[in-house]
């Protein structure tokens, strides 16, 4: 986009330069009715053009008003120079206004975004030119030649600008896409790297310590813990982005709370990683709340402190199960209050719940969304 | 040899985590029914040692970079019963080890009684259907995975959710013996696809059914 604009600005600048150089040759020429007027017009045109291009080069592109101003100035030149040059018609070295009208048409084609307006500007240039020629009693071949130039410069430059910009923005888009893909890949790579490092070190150490049986080598354990605490600290510094709250994260929080109460919860969210991240916030909240309720019941009534929490895909929906291998109960015997509050939460978001249990055989609370 | 006494299960462990091996040894000392016959850093080392082992505990991720399913295949070919363990659940790898003939899978965070019970199940010729193994079968996306029936998947899902056999049967609405039959069928299907006799034609058909690209050149 920027490159396309710069290219067109240079092109239009060179076109004007090629027209202004011959115009300066007319300074001091005796061919005009009023030499001073011609001198004034040439100098004013050169000054305006230099100012314009300095402004545009700084800014990057022509503002639309500048194109209209240029068209207006070209129309004025067409009338004044044609009348002043008294019988020296278009295309001659004397009447330099025809060339300037062509340059203005090219600028209008480039810098007026709406094609209808650009056409209006070009029409104004052509009409003025025709009028000046009629006033001056000009020759038709020369007049048509100049009109032809005005029309086609506008068309060619207008087309070139739009084409280059389309290509440019396409190129910009592809570049941005490639950059985004590279960034994403790098992030995934970094995650994978973290993961691998954690697997080989912290996870292995914690697992072994968690299982016990290391009482005979406290020094070894202490050393390894210290080393890995350092590692985790380093990883935390390099990983600053916090992802949004998904069902998985909400459930993770519920599990943490249950663990804080002394429970052991085996979690498996692998079954529905996509669905779990896409669940609407209200649904995630309801599922997490119901899961918390179910885990509380395991703690209060099952007689065991171990539970399983799994999330699985269920068609397009989600299936969350909270399972224990505790004492169970006779479904329908009541007294739990479990079915009611869990079912109520699920119904509110268009889901259902089901409790299956038998005395001595554990309990499963199943949450499905949608119903 | 004392280790070959009736009723004592000889355990060989292939793992490269020194600390885990130490912990395991002091642990097993507390269980008279289990004997640690040897610890090894890799499968090659174990096979070279020719220690009589009733059950091999094999780490899923070894630092020597060997493939878990290949390791299982080699141990099974040597006539050993393999129970796979790991700190981190890698579903496709676990499914591959099951197809290769592993008798089960456990994460390393299980308590000793659980591990001991799993080892006894394997030693007596059984299969340990842990929630993690059930999960691995359910989420198996490898092209050579077996096709499971709706009922089989339901029982697996119940297992993956942490239910016992009885609870799983009740939840699905079948008798416990029937649920057990479904699990045995899953195992049979897995081991059928894991066998080298699984032909390219069968695999190609499977791949076509799944609508996946028919790249089967490197399959057995």
pLDDT in tens, B166-203: 999 999 999 999 999 999 999 999 988 876 544 555 55
Contact A361 B89 (CB under 8 A): no
Q: Is B153 on the interface with A (CB under 8 A)?
A: no
Identify whether A283 is preceded by a cis peptide bond (ω within 30 of 0). no
Q: At a CB cut-off of 8 Å and minimum separation 6, what does A152 contact?
A: none
A112 shares a domain with A65: yes
- Give a yes or no: residue A22 inside a domain: yes
Write out the residue range of the structural domain in which residue A210 sits: 201-369
A297 and A348 in a single domain? The answer is yes
CA nearest A206: which of B210, B187, B31, B87?
B87
Residues of chain A contacting B109 with CB distance shorter than 8 Å: 207, 210-211
CA-closest candidate to residue B198, choices B177, B212, B182, B219: B219
Q: Residues in chain A whose beta carbon is closer than 8 A to a beta carbon of chain B? A: 199-200, 203-205, 207-208, 210-217, 220-221, 224, 266, 268, 270-271, 307-308, 310, 312, 319, 321, 323-325, 356, 358, 361-362, 364, 366
pLDDT per position as a tens digit, A166-223 = 888 888 788 888 888 877 887 787 777 777 677 767 887 788 787 777 777 777 778 7
Cα first-last separation, chain B: 41
> How far does A215 lie from chain B, in Å, by closest CA?
9
Q: Answer whether residue A183 is part of any domain.
A: no
On average, the pLDDT of chain B sits at 83
Instruction: To the nearest 10°, report the CA torsion of B127, B140, B132, A191.
Output: 140
Domain assignment present for residue A190? The answer is no
Does one domain contain both A169 and A211? no
- Kindly report the CA angle at A363 between A362 and A369, in degrees rounded to 5? 150
φ, ψ of residue B70 to 5 degrees: the values are -60, -45
Q: Do A115 and A162 reside in the same domain of the chain?
A: yes
User: B3 versus A137: which is more confidently predicted?
Assistant: A137
> For chain A, how many structural domains are there in total?
2
pLDDT tens for B90-102 read 888 899 999 999 9
Q: Is residue A80 part of a domain?
A: yes
Tally: H helices and E strands in chain A: 12, 5
Radius of gyration (C-alpha) of chain B in whole angstroms: 18
Whether residues A208 and A169 share a domain: the answer is no
B106 interaction partners in chain A (CB closer than 8 Å): none
Question: Would you state the pLDDT for residue A365?
Answer: 93
Q: Are residues A134 and A268 in the same domain?
A: no
Domains located in chain B, CATH noted: 2-138 (3.40.50.2300), 150-209 (1.10.10.10)
Q: HEC states along A181-232?
A: HHHHHHHHHHHHHHHHHHHHHHHHHHHHHHHCCCCCCHHHHHHHHHHHHHHH
**pLDDT confidence tier of residue B56, bands split at 50, 70 and 90:** very high
Element (H, E) at B13: strand B9-14
CB A235 within 8 A of CB A277: no
Contact B103, B57 (CB under 8 A): no
Residues 6+ apart with CB under 8 A from A122: A105, A108, A109, A150, A151, A154
Phi then psi dihedrals of residue A322, to 5 deg:
-120, 115
Cβ–Cβ gap B112/A221 under 8 Å: no
Q: Rounded to an integer, what distance in angstroms lies between the CA atom of residue B106 and that of residue B97? A: 12
A262 in the same domain as A153? no
What percent of chain A stands above pLDDT 90?
25
Considering the domain boundaries, does residue A180 fall inside one? no
Mutate to test the interface with A, among B13, B23, B86, B114 (most CBs of A within 10 A): B23
**Mean pLDDT in residue range B117-126:** 92
Q: Tell me, yes or no, whether A142 lies in a domain.
A: yes
Residues found in chain B: 220
Q: Could you tell me if B78 lies within 8 Å of chain A, comparing CB atoms?
A: no
Please say whether the beta carbons of B164 and A362 come within 8 A: yes
Q: Name the pLDDT band for A22 (thresholds 50, 70, 90).
A: confident
Residues A226, A167 within the same domain = no
Token duo for residue A337? 């209050």
The answer to whether residues A233 and A154 belong to one domain is no
Half-sphere exposure of B160 (CA within 13 A, CB side): 26
What pLDDT was estimated at residue B199? 52
Q: What pTM, to 2 d.p., does this model score?
A: 0.56
Report pLDDT for B218.
33
Question: Residue A143's Cα: distance from chain center in Å?
Answer: 50
Token pair for residue B87? Answer: 């700190």
Distance CA(A220)–CA(B203), nearest Å, equals 50
Q: Between the CA of residue A179 and those of A186, A189, A240, what are the distances in Å?
A: 10, 15, 21
Residue A191 lies in a domain: no
- Span A77-99, average pLDDT: 76
- Residue A159's pLDDT is 92
Q: Compute the distance between CA of residue B119 and CA of residue B27 in angstroms, rounded to an integer.
A: 14
Q: Is residue A322's pLDDT more than 90? A: yes
Choosing from A139, A159, A174, the residue where a domain stops is A174
Q: What is the mean pLDDT of residues B125-141?
A: 89
Cβ distance A147 to A124 under 8 Å?
A: no
pLDDT digits (tens, 9 = 90+) for A38-50: 889 999 999 999 9
| Residue A87: per-residue pLDDT | 62
Nearest by CB to B88, which of A199, A212, A268?
Answer: A199
Q: Do A207 and A140 share a structural domain?
A: no
The answer to whether residues A219 and A306 belong to one domain is: yes
C-alpha gyration radius of chain A = 40
B174 touches chain A (CB under 8 A): no
Is the pLDDT at A231 greater than 90, yes or no? no
- If asked whether residues A6 and A69 sit together in one domain, one would say yes
User: Looking at residue A359, which CATH number applies to its domain?
Assistant: 3.30.565.10
Is the pLDDT score of A244 beyond 50? no
Asked, for residue A179, whether it belongs to a domain, the answer is no
pLDDT at residue number A338:
64
Distance between A312 CA and the closest CA of chain B, angstroms: 8
In this predicted structure, the answer to whether residue B161 has a pLDDT above a threshold of 50 is yes
């Amino acid at each position: 986009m920027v490159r396309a604009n710069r290219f067109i600005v240079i092109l239009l600048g060179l076109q004007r330069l090629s027209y202004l150089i011959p115009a300066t040759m007319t300074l001091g020429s005796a061919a005009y009715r009023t030499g001073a007027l011609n001198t004034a017009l040439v100098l004013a045109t050169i000054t305006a053009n230099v100012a314009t291009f300095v402004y545009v080069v700084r800014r990057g592109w022509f503002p639309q008003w500048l194109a209209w101003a240029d068209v207006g100035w070209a129309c004025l030149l067409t009338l004044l120079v044609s009348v002043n040059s008294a019988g020296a018609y278009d295309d001659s070295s004397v009447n330099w206004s025809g060339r300037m009208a062509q340059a203005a048409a090219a600028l209008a084609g480039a810098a007026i975004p709406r094609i209808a307006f650009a056409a209006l500007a070009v029409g104004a240039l052509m009409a003025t030119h025709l009028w000046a020629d009629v006033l001056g009693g000009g020759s038709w071949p020369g007049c048509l030649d100049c009109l032809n130039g005005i029309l086609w410069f506008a068309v060619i430059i207008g087309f070139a600008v739009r084409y280059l910009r389309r290509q440019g923005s396409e190129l910009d888009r592809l570049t941005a896409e490639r950059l985004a893909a590279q960034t994403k890949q790098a992030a995934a790579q970094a995650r994978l790297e973290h993961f691998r490092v954690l697997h080989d070190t912290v996870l292995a150490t914690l697992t072994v310590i968690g299982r016990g049986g290391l009482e005979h080598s406290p020094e070894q354990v202490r050393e390894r813990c210290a080393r890995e605490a350092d590692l985790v600290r380093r990883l935390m510094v390099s990983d600053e982005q916090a992802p949004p709250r998904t069902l998985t994260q909400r459930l993770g929080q519920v599990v943490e709370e249950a663990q804080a109460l002394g429970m052991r919860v085996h979690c498996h969210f692998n079954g529905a990683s996509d669905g779990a991240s896409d669940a609407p916030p209200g649904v995630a909240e309801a599922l997490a709340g119901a899961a918390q309720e179910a885990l509380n019941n395991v703690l209060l009534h099952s007689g065991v402190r171990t539970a399983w929490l799994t999330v699985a895909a269920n068609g397009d929906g989600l299936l969350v199960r909270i399972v224990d291998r505790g004492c169970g109960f006779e479904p329908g015997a009541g007294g739990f209050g479990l079915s009611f509050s869990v079912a109520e939460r699920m119904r509110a978001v268009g889901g259902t719940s089901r409790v299956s249990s038998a005395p001595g055989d554990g309990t499963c609370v199943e949450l499905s969304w949608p119903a | 040899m004392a280790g070959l006494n009736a009723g004592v299960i000889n355990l060989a462990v292939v793992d490269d985590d020194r600390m885990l091996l130490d912990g395991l040894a002091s642990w097993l000392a507390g269980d008279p029914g289990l004997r640690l016959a040897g610890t090894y850093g890799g499968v090659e080392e174990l096979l070279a040692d020719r220690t009589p082992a009733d059950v091999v505990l094999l780490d899923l991720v070894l630092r020597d970079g060997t493939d878990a399913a290949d390791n299982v295949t080699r141990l099974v070919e040597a006539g050993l019963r393999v129970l796979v363990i790991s700190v981190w659940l890698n579903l496709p790898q676990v499914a591959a080890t099951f197809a290769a003939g592993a008798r089960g899978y456990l994460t390393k965070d299980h308590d000793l009684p659980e591990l001991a019970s799993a080892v006894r199940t394997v030693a007596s010729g059984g299969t340990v259907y842990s929630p993690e193994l059930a999960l691995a079968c359910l989420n198996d996306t490898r092209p050579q995975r077996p096709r499971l029936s709706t009922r089989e998947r339901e029982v697996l899902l119940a297992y993956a959710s942490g239910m016992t056999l009885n609870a799983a049967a009740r939840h699905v609405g079948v008798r416990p013996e029937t649920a057990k039959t479904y699990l045995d069928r899953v195992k049979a299907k897995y081991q059928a696809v894991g066998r080298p006799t699984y032909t390219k034609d069968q695999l190609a058909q499977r791949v076509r059914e799944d609508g996946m690209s028919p790249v089967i050149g490197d399959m057995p």
